[in-house]
Amino acid sequence: MERTHPCLQCGACCAHFRVSFYWAEPVPEKFTEKLNAHRSYMRGTDSPVSPRCVALQGEVGGRVNCGIYEDRPSPCRDFEASYETGVENPRCAIARASKGLPPLSAEDWK
Ligand code: SF4
Ligand code: SF4
């Protein structure tokens, strides 16, 4: 049986960090806000209290999905889950911890 990708049962990074990127990236505009002259960010991710990208569907820590997966900005494409390629990503662990989730380990990819 195929295992569910750990990120599809998490989504913590989409609800913890401000996700900003070069303004000209082809991300659907209605999901973005202007940060400054050069950068935009995913709407909802700059909340100081409860950040959450407006494109994130589902429940963090439950079943989640990026609603604009094919059009997501570069920081989302570049963000690697810990040990997905064999290396730890401390920011993945930080995001998960903020939602009460344990850090991923190499075991999660076996
Ligand atoms: S915090 Fe890590 S495990 Fe969770 S969705 Fe982001 S990359 Fe995936
Ligand atoms: S665009 Fe998708 S992957 Fe990026 S923060 Fe939003 S929901 Fe997460």
Q: Which of 5, 8, 13 to mutate to test the pocket of ligand 1 (most atoms within 8 A of CB)?
A: 13
Pocket test for ligand 2, best of 42, 52, 77 (most atoms within 8 A of CB): 42
Report the pLDDT averaged over residues 16-30.
98
User: Confidence class of residue 82 from pLDDT cuts 50, 70 and 90?
Assistant: very high
Q: Which amino acid is at 83?
A: Y
The single-letter DSSP state of residue 15 is G
Angle at 43 between CA 101 and CA 25, to 5 degrees: 105
The pLDDT value recorded for residue 1 is: 58
The mean per-residue pLDDT over the stretch 93-103 comes to 98
Tokens standing for residue 10: 């998490």
- What lies within 8 Å, CB to CB, of 82 at 6+ separation is 88, 89, 90, 92, 93, 103, 104, 105
Rounded percentage of the chain residues whose pLDDT exceeds 70: 98
Query: Which run of H or of E encompasses 57?
Result: strand 56-58
With a cut of 90, say whether residue 3 has pLDDT above it. Answer: no
- Edge to edge, the sheet with strand 20-22 lists 20-22, 39-42, 32-34
- Cα 40 to averaged position of ligand 1 atoms, centre (Å): 22
62-72 per-position pLDDT tens digit? 999 999 999 99
Task: Render pLDDT for 39-59 as a digit per residue (tens, 0 to 9).
Answer: 999 999 999 999 999 999 999
- Give 27's pLDDT tier (boundaries 50, 70, 90): very high
Distance CA 18, CA 9 (A): 20
27 lines ligand 2 (CB under 6 A): no
